[in-house]
Amino acid sequence: MTAMYAYAQPAPDIVYDTTLTHFSSVEDVVATIADDLPIHVIYKRTIEQAAHAFLTSFPGEVMYAVKCNPTPAVLDMLARAGISAFDVASIEEIDAVRRIAPLAKMYFMHPVKSRKAIRHAYMAGIRDFSLDSQDELVKIIEETGADDLSLVIRLGLPKGDAALDLSGKFGVIGDEAVALMRDARKIASSLAISFHVGSQCMNPDSYARAIAMVRELVDQAGVDIDMLDVGGGFPVAYPGMTPPPLADFMKAITDAVELYDFGHLPLVCEPGRALVGEGGSVLVKVELRKDDKLYLNDGTFGALFDAGAIGWRYPVRVVGDRKQEDAKVQSFSFYGPTCDSMDYMEGPFLLPDDIEEGDWIEVSHLGAYGMAMRTRFNGFYSDLTVSVGPNEATGAVILPMPCHQGAAMAGTV
């Protein structure tokens, strides 16, 4: 039975503002915005190039994993760049995509959903639902009626070559996977298989190994599948991590799809990091220096969660043309603004040795899992987001809001 449920429209007070004030350089941003909030920077051109790279090299549909960076302007840029499918995981993500890219296709790729979220998704037109258990299958059937479902079974993978292993939390394996495929096949109008090789996967062979495993389990189950979803995990460059080119990943996938006899199926991928990672940065200000420790206005409870929690190193540079060329480079650790001792980022971050209070640092390649991870912990939060890049009309100068809580930029690109 289909639950009686009116699709709740997004609350009218949620503003999906897709415009950002534009600046020609980060130096300009810092000179113009005389405040001490961290500033999030979006490089539109870089995001467009990443979208183009995927759309032209992946032999199937490219869906953007919204959790990486749900900023309305970013969703809008990706949609305009040709990304027409979005991987959503929550009611809020569904509403944002519906508003900003009303024609886009959404896939609900969270394998564990609340019943309310399932109903909300169904009423919003979503038919593609991910799952990795019998109980979730029952939930989806009960909440939607099961007439026209495209079910995507998420397989678990052994730990692979990804910097961030995702094998522990989601994914069904072995006999359970076989049973779930058979049961889902009985009711699904379309059945797909998906996996996630782990985020920032450095080895293209991981995709080939996963596709081989799909073949094995599909044969054991003796079911036909209608689509293959090779997930996310595509890497970007960080200090100490230089991944193989995207083309190597595409070749590994294409070859494996042929080798394991899935060549006739529609393919989907779910990149997050690789679409937006290089297209964003955060500008942070040095509030105090103690030897090789820099106390900044942003940290692990802000956009730098991964720098602290998993010791991720990002490219850094001092903003402005100071003496940087003659200064020697030195290793620094960062401390964020909250009073929590976990607000610490070991680095090492290489910066000129004359860096001092008042300097601004650009922490780059933070477009994914950066601003998306912000909290309001201890009263520190910044919504200040601008776009930077060449050859676009420079936006009007907008004075920042006087408060520290959620000062938002209004303006035009």
280 binds ligand PLP (CB under 6 A): no
Nearer to ligand PLP (CB atom), residue 233 or residue 395: 233
The span from the CA of 378 to the CA of 54, in Å, is 39
156 binds ligand PLP (CB under 6 A): no
Q: With both helix axes pointing from N to C terminus, report the angle between 246-259 and 44-57 in degrees, rounded to the nearest 10.
A: 20
267 binds ligand PLP (CB under 6 A): no
207 binds ligand PLP (CB under 6 A): no
273 binds ligand PLP (CB under 6 A): yes
* Residue from 53, 65, 178, 217 in contact with ligand PLP (CB under 6 A): 65
Site for ligand PLP in 106-145 (CB under 6 A): 109
214 binds ligand PLP (CB under 6 A): no
In the block, residue with structure tokens 């970013």: 74
In the complex, minimum distance from the CB of residue 47 to ligand PLP, in angstroms, rounded to a whole number: 14
Question: For 342-397, where are the E strands, in sequence order?
Answer: 344-352, 360-363, 385-388
* Residue from 233, 308, 337, 370 in contact with ligand PLP (CB under 6 A): 233
271 binds ligand PLP (CB under 6 A): yes
Which residue's CB atom is positioned nearest to ligand PLP? 232
367 binds ligand PLP (CB under 6 A): no
Which DSSP string corresponds to 184-235? HHHH-SEEEEE----EEE--THHHHHHHHHHHHHHHHHT---SEEE--S---
Site for ligand PLP in 179-198 (CB under 6 A): 196
Exposure of 325 by Cβ count < 10 A (0-12 exposed, 13-18 middle, 19+ buried)? Answer: exposed
Containing 268, the helix (H) or strand (E) segment is strand 267-269
The span from the CA of 190 to the CA of 301, in Å, is 41
Q: Which stretch binds ligand PLP (CB under 6 A): 45-53, 182-190, 269-277, 291-299?
A: 269-277
* Residue from 47, 62, 68, 217 in contact with ligand PLP (CB under 6 A): 68
232 binds ligand PLP (CB under 6 A): yes
CA distances from 300 to 10, 98, 287, 339, 379 (A): 30, 31, 16, 11, 14
Which residues face 23 on adjacent strands?
388
270 binds ligand PLP (CB under 6 A): yes
In the complex, minimum distance from the CB of residue 280 to ligand PLP, in angstroms, rounded to a whole number: 13
The span from the CA of 137 to the CA of 184, in Å, is 7
Nearer to ligand PLP (CB atom), residue 129 or residue 349: 129
Binding site for ligand PLP (CB under 6 A): 65, 67-68, 87, 109, 196, 199, 231-234, 270-274, 368
